[in-house]
Amino acid sequence: MLKSRDKKILEALELFRCMKRDQIKELFFKDLKNPITATNIVLKRLRRDGYIEAKTSVQPYIYFLNPSTVKKESQKLNHYLSIVDFYIQLCEFQVPTEFQVEKRYGNRFMQPDIFMEWNKKLFFVEIQKSRYTTEIMDEKIQRYIDYFNYKGWNLYSSNKLDSDSPFIWIVSKSPYQLRTKNIIQTTNVQEFLKHYNFQI
């Protein structure tokens, strides 16, 4: 019989595709006296009962739904894990009311890493672990612009967070010099909150 927390873990693995043990601990067990032990016990039981799988060649393990929607040796694992890290950073300030991973918007438009509603604002988020050329990033942003035009949205001024349109947020180690200037670019959530005086 699955417990409420078991179901939440399975829902998170479905959303994120994969999660590290410590990410699961942070989201579901951090308030317990012995969070790592509690996390290990629950994950071991869920593996035993066939609900989840684990990549055991790394320590701590990386966990997946059973059956998994992503291969254990996929080159995208680190990308998906970075999305989980970003989500955890958001939750330190406020839990998003909506959070979708790699939602499809059609061949003509973008495929954001994340679409979310956070503190009553809408965001399209690109998590850039690998460095793209400026030309490739400009092409990615143009797909957003095309979608904004299609929806009748205005591209906002990046120093104002009072628009009803979604914001485009690139999370990367260093900013891109893009043709389109009205794009939020930070290294993490904390930098965003500090730079944009975003009230949580």
Per-residue pLDDT reduced to its tens digit, 97-120: 999 999 999 999 999 999 999 999
Top pLDDT among 19 and 200 is at 19
* Percentage of the chain modeled with pLDDT above 70: 95
Tracing tokens 């939750």 back to the chain, one arrives at: 91
Coil vs helix vs strand at 138:
helix
**62, two tokens:** 């990386």
> Smallest Cα–Cα separation from 54: which of 39, 37, 35?
39
State the sign of the Cα–Cα–Cα–Cα dihedral 118, 121, 123, 127: negative
d(Cα 47, Cα 110) in Å, to the nearest integer? Answer: 36
Mean of the per-residue pLDDT values for the chain?
A: 93
Q: What are the pLDDT digits (tens) for 65-93?
A: 999 999 999 999 999 999 999 999 999 99
**129, two tokens:** 């672990």
In angstroms, the Cα distances linking 109 to 32, 120, 141, 148 are 44, 24, 10, 9
Give the pTM. Answer: 0.93
State the sign of the Cα–Cα–Cα–Cα dihedral 146, 152, 100, 194: positive
Radius of gyration for the chain, computed over Cα atoms and rounded to the nearest angstrom: 18
